Structure 1
Amino acid sequence: MSMLDKSMGRRSFLRASAGAVAAMAAYEAVGVSKAYAAAQSEADGYDKVASDAQVTSGAGQWVPIHCHQNCNQMCNNMGYVVDGVVVRQKTDDSREDSWDCPQQRSCLRGRSLRQQVYNGDRLKYPMKRKHWQPGGGENAHGELRGRDEWERISWDEALTYVTDELKRVYREYGQNAVICNGWRWAPASAMFPVIGGAVYNTETESFGCWAFQTEALGMYSWGDHPDLMMAPDKYDLPNADNIILYGCNPGWAQHTAMQSLEHAKEAGVNFVYVGPSYNITASALGARWIRVRPGTDTAFLLGVMYEMLRLDDERGNIIDWDFLAERCVGFTAETMPEDASTDENMRGYILGEYDGVPKTPEWASEICGTPVEDITWYAEMAGKDNKDMFLHSYAASRYLGAENLSQAFMTVSAMGGHFGKSGHGSAAIYTWDAGDSGYRMVSQSSNPIYGYIDALVAAPKATGPNRCIEGNSWWSSLEKGEYISTSEGPYDLGSGDDKTKLRNNTPTYHEARRMPVNPRLLFQTCSNFMQTRGDLPTAIRVMRQADTCISLEIKFSLTAQFADILLPVAAHWEGNDDESWGELCWPSAFGDGNGQKQRKDAILAWKPLIKPMYEAREEKRICREIIERMGYDPDEAYPKTNYDQWLGYFLGKRVLRDDLSAWEPMLTWTAADNAKYHADFPEQQGLMGFDEFMEKGSFVVRRSEGDRRNYVGYRDDKLGMDEDDNVTVIDPAWPRPSQSGKLEIYCQFKADNVNKTGLADEPIKPYANYFVPRRGYQETFANWDTKEKAKYPLQAYTPHYMRRAHSCYDNMPWTQEAFRNPVFMNAADAAERGIKAGDTVMCFNDFGKMLRHAQPLESMMPGTVAIPHGVHSVLDETNPDDIIDRGGSEQMLSDGTQSNYFNQVDGYNSLLIDIKKYDGEALEEDYERAPFLAAGVDAEDTPAYVADKSVVYAERR
């Protein structure tokens, strides 16, 4: 039984017409490529299919869409499918919107997804770079990568090239020559442990230094997500006096947090925002702005601690001494942990007893730029008599040298006693956990029949150990042929040493070792590392020096542009369970695992909307065939089918009853359902039928103000289930997962674990001491004492942006037109350089150059620059030794510098640059640019139902 309605015909989506031919001639007349003209002229006729009449007449059906890409929010989208084509989208309207049972609304990116699926940048069929030949050496013509032409090949030819080259490289060089140039949790990554191993990248991704010893300090991690699921939920937010948003901007990230925060504002809660710019979220909530320069947050928080001590000495009622004594260790000499190896404590350090430097507001202000009076105000606000919720994103932690930020943040919260009480809080708000935190009300059954197996654990039998290059040095290590290892595995797993010392999974490190790497074959897995891993100039050299570069991609990304063999991957909308349509396939269950990262009280439905377009194939299917051709068993990498995982995921969902008595099935499943869906899952009685769930697109728990499931972090137990679906405590709030069972303001394990790597000349302290970070504010001066400015006086950081999630969604014309690619800078800094709004400017340093349009703002701190990240590079190589990125990627401005103590952090925001007005050739708007793959692709190769970047322009008429 097909999941898709076959009562409709299989008509082509678009047909050639006299109007289309005329339009093509018009485009060609102005010098537009044939392929772009063909795609554009077809798109101009899109309204012939996409008119409202198609929907109002009931010609198709609404189907839930998997909004699958890397924002981790998983909102509800619905696609209207007519004749196998999605002609409209909408979001959740299956229920009346209410605070207790809200609609699961999509953001502007999700509602524009058709423009990504039907896009001229889609990879349509396997392709080979024209001048590349197998065997390595001169045959590769690596100097042409990124600018060569392409030729179409068959799937058999493509997979033969891939497997022959893999066998050759393993035979001649070993596993250190095979590079998994993509996320280690992507489906394709599970292939390498089975076929011979590879070198992976390990880094803290979104989390920066916040992932640094989180559980050892006594905080909580959900998997590798640090300090998560411990903030208050939406029903407790209005109980606060103050909500402090530390480096947060959910208004741009488009998380559902904004609804919860606005509800708290309506209840009278005051908001405080900490960061280098007054962002849209702070403005919407009327927040008080506490200015802190990029990467100087630890200094700011130490100044706050000093003032809290001073104010408490003067008048009391600032510090919760009882909480520090009962629930924390190491703030004073009287509360030191048993394993302490020094007599130093946090209070003594703040007062300057060990280094002669009291951490006064004046000391902090010189570093962080925060006015002294604001530091004092913040310290008073943080006092124990106020109900404060300190909520952070990870932005302030994505700097080199931010290792102690999480401990300092925790310490300020602990000094005020803001843990475990209604109206108080101290934790992260991040994507699916933002604004409504706590344990999950909809969770997965522990019965293995429903188990979801992702790429992190899918390959139990490996032919060789997988190695990981740590953090910011990915490209520079590949170029040098060696990397520094402090951990045998991923950052969140550690080396395996001394694990018995902790009752949690805190990673442990070993003495730094030099490890060889020889990048002969790079295998890209839908991750676009050239635009997401920094140090783009070095990445270009690495890609061009390799023997072979293979890329699995949905669209023609920059990483795909530098490949030799392109393997087109089906989008998550695409699948086929009907043999009459052709080859059977089912999309990867959850891509990078985002299906497990939905809201705690809601589950979103999805299923394939359309059959795979062109010759695209599902990612795991491609990898299974590679494994078979290599002579191994693909079931070792992928023991469950995508279909079984998809169905089992939904059927395994259990809902926590409002009286906390039991978990009950979310969905009803009958013998008739098993027959209909060719499955063999146990029958069960749930709260909603499976078909109803798919029709509505979501299941949402109805809650209330007095619901016992509502949550306060560090007070309630996290509730899970046993094998019989009974309620059980899976994570009691206390004791904490540290050596002492308390919050460790002094953490001996942290210091011992980190210092044994030997990376830094000066050992890190067990408490949150200040040290000068690499690529930080101090380096903007040639002479710190005289404040003589250095060559690159501006600190640039790379915020997330409305129009994309990293580099995902960035090729959609609606969002391209609505949001250009600006560089935001302080208005005075711009005026000093003769720069006005809209001017084309060059951002540059010793590593690279890129162009963007300037947007001066009064709401930026002087000396700071914000470059929204994730754009597609357009490389001007007129001078190969002086490449200019006309697309404006911030990755041109970073290098492989690693953090002071924590190799696994990327430090995306640690960029030192300058900016000048650019008077060269005007920039082309990205929404006017032809598809990147148009060059070298003939118009007749463009299938009739492709639409280019302007796929839905006609709808606006």
Structure 2
Amino acid sequence: MTTLPTTSHWGAFRAGPHPAGGVLVEPHPDDPAPSPLLAGVPGSLRHRTRVRRPAVREGWLRGGPGTGAGRGREPFVEVSWERALDLVAGELARVKREFGPQAVFGGSYGWASAGRFHHAQSQLHRFLALFGGYTASRNSYSLGTSLVLLPRVLGDAEAVLRATSSWPTIVRHTRLLVAFGGVPAKNVYVTPGGVTRHTTPGFLAELAAAGTEVTLVSPLRDDLPDGPATDWLPVAPGTDTALMLALTHTLVAENLHDRAFLARYTSGWPVLERYLDGRADGTPKDADWAAPICGLAAERIRALARKMAGTRTLVTVTWSLQRARYGEQPVWAAIALASALGQLGLPGGGFGHGYGSMGDVGDTGTALRLPFLPQPANPVDEFIPCARIADLLLHPGEEYPYDGTTRRYPDIRLVHWAGGNPFHHHQDLGRLRRAFARPETVIVHEPHWTATARHADIVLPVTTTLEREDFGGGRRDTHLIAMHRAADPVGEARDDHAILAALAERLGFAAEFTENRTPRQWLEHLYGQWAEQLRADGAEGAGSTGSAGGPPSFDRFWADGEWRLPEQHPERTLFAEFRADPDRHPLATPSGRIELHSPAIAALDLPDCPGHPAWLDPRPDPATARRHPLLLIANQPATRLHSQLDVGAASLADKVADREAVELHPADAAERAIGDGDLVRIFNDRGACLAGARLSDRLRPGVVRLPTGAWFDPVPDTEPPLCAHGNPNALTADLPSSRLSQGCTGQHAPVQLERWTGGDPPPVTVRHPPVLLPAPTSDPTSEATPDPASEPAPVPRPEHAPPPEAVR
């Protein structure tokens, strides 16, 4: 039985045909904690939702551009590749000619593939830049707020996010880990580009063995695995900033703060201190003030502050905290708290951001930059913060503030999307549906009939990772993996590069786009350039067999299936050089120090982001809270990556009542006569969704948890929209974190919940393709024949036997 190497955002593995049918998936032998998401790969590969032929929305095919009202509602007509490519190229040329290239939005998100060459975002952006330019997006839904704030406060977001203190350093030196948002185990199995060795679970076990205490600050107990000695503070959602300010106030009031550190390494402490003690606004931010806000006892807050001051303490903040209204504040307040403790730059102390948010944060793999597809400069300088896509489409010409500037939304006439599913990532999906009805044409590359594909005009079927050749590796990975093709493409699917090369041929710049190379020649070229530079730098890895030496030839690498990358020293401390000598190693801030008060931000006079960390109450107003008394947390799922693999075995096995599971406290369930497994309706003024109830006492009463990523399944003719499948973004608000960052706020939403009593519930339809009509007989597509492998017959097996696609 032959399996071939490949990798994914959830880790390296081997894949090949299963003897009983389907595909076999084997984790990488070096992985101490393989991702459970691997179980979702086999079932999704040839699922009936795969897009098998190019398809055009019936209304657009009849009426042409500008008929967007039918998106998401109308059937599709399958057409030939030649017809589809002609339509796409014609639309790109028309829009550029009539409105300019800035009228094209190059929509893409970086999660489509772990491959370094077949990376949908890189392919699309390269194509559109050579086409003449496009309106781009900036930052991410996960980190849109921090990516704007951190450069202003600490000088460099990348250092904080990618070069933070390593797990071996934490295990060896940290005695108290205060984890705001925890270290959620489910998230560490995912990293852009993948990790061959998932090490965070092992480091958490070592942390427990070392006797390190952990204070978990979260409304969800499962935000930290069982194991470490844990003190759980079930804080009210959205109130972490108030708690951090109170902890800092206690340090100052009891003279436990490090005055010398604050004087030498920070700027603006006197301004923040006046705010903390109440001289600035008449309200001291002490433990008594914070206690009713946070739902914690004041003495418990004071006791935690004293413990933090008495030992080597690391203050960490997950990315989830900044995915909310005023998301800058908990990050900035945590930096201020760590500064008051005076431990930044000490091994095991200070501040961290993102432990448990991604698998590579704190990891010890390579620091090398891996091969990548060259990106020409975009001739168009228009961009939006990525979470403002609905505003872009709904409000062309409108001004908005961003990072100290005033920008204007361009008038988008065509959306070209390759890689990513905005009907997963974005908030207020009812509003996004209205926004997607505005452009004249929407073109989508997709492997599956997701909601984004169903809201397109032209859908082009693309291959998945297992259906093409590439090489891949993640940030701080230990291996570069040769990604062999392990399965034939489904139907007529093509890779993004082939699609874009064919469009470039029609538009007159094929040679510039392909550089006259095939995909295999691109792999050899990119690898060869990278390997040559490594050899010149004297970099050595361990090789596929453990023998030292520089990178092998491409042929040797491809045959071996991997090359073990040179690892960096496991001990790493954030800001160590800055602490050793802040004059020789200043931060890239205006003061060269940690900016606890930023005159530049203060000068912007933003009511939703003042010049220092502050308590800005994100909780709903009393009238909203009475109508929608529960606070929904829309966090990342444990059974898929965002919405990827939602039709895979791991995700399907976790459904309740055939929908996404919503977790609620037994007390809240009893108040509403809801039992475990009941079908429930979750609703607010923006929309509603159906979900299956799962009762748990491992979350704070008054809180419900509904993970993101269930494929959006709007029930026809419902307003506001009702999602039959349980997508929480039917409920979240499409509001920015602040006028500084314009970041995503999808983490929280006020809701009400009730047992479904409406008779037979609407069915879940997203696990089937939309209505697909044959091409008209006069169309050249009519000669095409169906793909005989598109719906493989089930393989008979004994009752209770594992399915053939099961992970070995």
When the two structures are superposed, what TM-score results if normalisation uses the length of structure 2?
Answer: 0.85
Question: Within 2, Cα distance between the matches of 1:616 and 1:92?
Answer: 27
Q: Point out the structure with max Rg over C-alpha.
A: 1
Shift of 1:155: 0.8
Aligned to 1:381: 307
Deviates more, 1:116-125 or 1:128-137: 128-137
Aligned to 2:779: none
Letter in 1 for 2:326: G
Question: Within 1, Cα distance between the matches of 2:55 and 2:442?
Answer: 12
Aligned to 2:61: 133
Question: Within 2, Cα distance between the matches of 1:920 and 1:824?
Answer: 21
Within the candidate set 130, 141, 145, 1:209 is matched to 145
Shift of 1:624: 2.4
| Contact 1:66–1:573 under 8 Å retained in 2 | no
Letter in 2 for 1:76: A
Give yes or no for the alignment of 1:396 onto 2:321: yes
Within the candidate set 845, 850, 859, 2:689 is matched to 850
1:3-29 superposed Cα distances (whole Å, 9 cap, x missing partner): xxxxxxxxxxxxxxxxxxxxxxxxxxx
Aligned to 2:184: 250
Partner of 2:750: helix, strand, or coil? Answer: strand
Within the candidate set 533, 545, 549, 2:442 is matched to 549
Aligned 1:568-607 pairs, distance under 5 A: 568-575=461-468, 586=469, 595-599=473-477, 601-607=478-484
Deviates more, 1:364-373 or 1:190-199: 190-199
Question: Within 2, Cα distance between the matches of 1:687 and 1:897?
Answer: 48
Shift of 1:262: 1.1
Shift of 1:687: 7.1
| Contact 2:183–2:355 under 8 Å retained in 1 | no
Residues 218/882 of structure 1: CA separation in 2 closer, same or farther (3 Å cut):
closer
Give yes or no for the alignment of 1:888 onto 2:726: yes
| Contact 1:208–1:907 under 8 Å retained in 2 | no
| Contact 2:679–2:755 under 8 Å retained in 1 | yes
Partner of 2:698: helix, strand, or coil? Answer: coil
Residues 476/602 of structure 1: CA separation in 2 closer, same or farther (3 Å cut):
same
Partner of 1:273: helix, strand, or coil? Answer: strand
Aligned to 1:452: 372
Shift of 1:402: 1.7
Give yes or no for the alignment of 1:742 onto 2:593: yes
Aligned 1:405-444 pairs, distance under 5 A: 405-430=330-355, 434=359, 437=362, 441-444=366-369
Question: Within 2, Cα distance between the matches of 1:902 and 1:908?
Answer: 17
Residues 668/890 of structure 1: CA separation in 2 closer, same or farther (3 Å cut):
closer
Give yes or no for the alignment of 1:331 onto 2:206: no
Shift of 1:77: 0.5
Residues 263/763 of structure 1: CA separation in 2 closer, same or farther (3 Å cut):
closer
1:899-950 superposed Cα distances (whole Å, 9 cap, x missing partner): 3333430111132222222112455896x97533476589972422654999
1:292-317 superposed Cα distances (whole Å, 9 cap, x missing partner): 222222111111111111232xxxxx
Aligned to 1:911: 749
Shift of 1:282: 4.2
Residues 864/551 of structure 1: CA separation in 2 closer, same or farther (3 Å cut):
same
Shift of 1:810: 1.1
Question: Within 2, Cα distance between the matches of 1:292 and 1:191?
Answer: 47
Aligned to 1:509: 404
Partner of 1:549: helix, strand, or coil? Answer: strand
Shift of 1:167: 2.4
| Contact 2:174–2:314 under 8 Å retained in 1 | yes
Aligned to 1:953: 803
Letter in 2 for 1:941: P
Question: Within 1, Cα distance between the matches of 2:760 and 2:37?
Answer: 28
Question: Within 2, Cα distance between the matches of 1:299 and 1:461?
Answer: 42
Q: Aligned-residue CA RMSD in angstroms?
A: 3.7
Question: Within 1, Cα distance between the matches of 2:767 and 2:646?
Answer: 14
Letter in 2 for 1:715: A
Give yes or no for the alignment of 1:623 onto 2:623: no
Question: Within 2, Cα distance between the matches of 1:559 and 1:467?
Answer: 23
Question: Within 2, Cα distance between the matches of 1:428 and 1:178?
Answer: 35
Letter in 1 for 2:475: K
| Contact 1:839–1:917 under 8 Å retained in 2 | yes
Deviates more, 1:238-247 or 1:866-875: 238-247
What's the % identity of the aligned pairs? 21
Within the candidate set 573, 576, 600, 1:712 is matched to 573
Letter in 2 for 1:873: F
Give yes or no for the alignment of 1:187 onto 2:123: yes
Shift of 1:513: 4.2
Within the candidate set 272, 275, 279, 1:346 is matched to 272
Deviates more, 1:151-160 or 1:250-259: 250-259
Aligned to 1:932: 769
Partner of 2:680: helix, strand, or coil? Answer: strand
Aligned to 1:294: 237
Question: Within 2, Cα distance between the matches of 1:179 and 1:285?
Answer: 47
Letter in 2 for 1:620: H
Shift of 1:738: 1.7
Aligned to 2:135: 199
1:60-100 superposed Cα distances (whole Å, 9 cap, x missing partner): x22112214xxxxx52201135899973211122x5xxxxx
Shift of 1:396: 0.9
Aligned to 1:794: 630
Shift of 1:855: 2.2
Shift of 1:386: 0.4
Aligned to 1:809: 645
Question: Within 2, Cα distance between the matches of 1:945 and 1:136?
Answer: 30
Give yes or no for the alignment of 1:540 onto 2:433: yes
1:659-707 superposed Cα distances (whole Å, 9 cap, x missing partner): xx984233779xxxxxxxxxxxxxx95277867765665555798xxx9
Aligned to 2:254: 311
5+ residue gaps, structure 2? 111-120, 190-197, 776-783, 797-801
Letter in 2 for 1:792: H
Partner of 2:345: helix, strand, or coil? Answer: coil
5+ residue gaps, structure 1? 1-54, 56-60, 69-73, 96-102, 313-317, 333-344, 446-450, 488-507, 576-585, 670-683, 719-730, 783-787
Aligned to 1:664: 539
Aligned 1:764-779 pairs, distance under 5 A: 764-772=609-617, 776-777=618-619, 779=620
| Contact 2:413–2:440 under 8 Å retained in 1 | yes
Shift of 1:537: 0.8
Aligned 1:672-687 pairs, distance under 5 A: 685-686=549-550
Shift of 1:602: 4.2
Residues 662/424 of structure 1: CA separation in 2 closer, same or farther (3 Å cut):
farther
Shift of 1:437: 2.4
Shift of 1:349: 1.3
Question: Within 2, Cα distance between the matches of 1:120 and 1:947?
Answer: 9
Partner of 1:75: helix, strand, or coil? Answer: coil
Question: Within 2, Cα distance between the matches of 1:898 and 1:474?
Answer: 11
Partner of 1:131: helix, strand, or coil? Answer: helix
Aligned length: 766
| Contact 2:365–2:476 under 8 Å retained in 1 | no
Within the candidate set 44, 63, 67, 1:116 is matched to 44
Letter in 1 for 2:80: S
Deviates more, 1:862-871 or 1:932-941: 932-941
Residues 748/947 of structure 1: CA separation in 2 closer, same or farther (3 Å cut):
farther
Question: Within 2, Cα distance between the matches of 1:355 and 1:827?
Answer: 41
| Contact 1:229–1:439 under 8 Å retained in 2 | no
Aligned 1:92-241 pairs, distance under 5 A: 92-93=28-29, 103=31, 105-133=33-61, 136=64, 141-183=67-109, 185-218=121-154, 220-222=156-158, 227-241=161-175
Aligned to 1:836: 675
Give yes or no for the alignment of 1:560 onto 2:453: yes
Letter in 2 for 1:117: L
Letter in 1 for 2:5: P
Give yes or no for the alignment of 1:522 onto 2:420: no
Residues 664/227 of structure 1: CA separation in 2 closer, same or farther (3 Å cut):
closer
Letter in 1 for 2:505: E
| Contact 1:79–1:86 under 8 Å retained in 2 | no
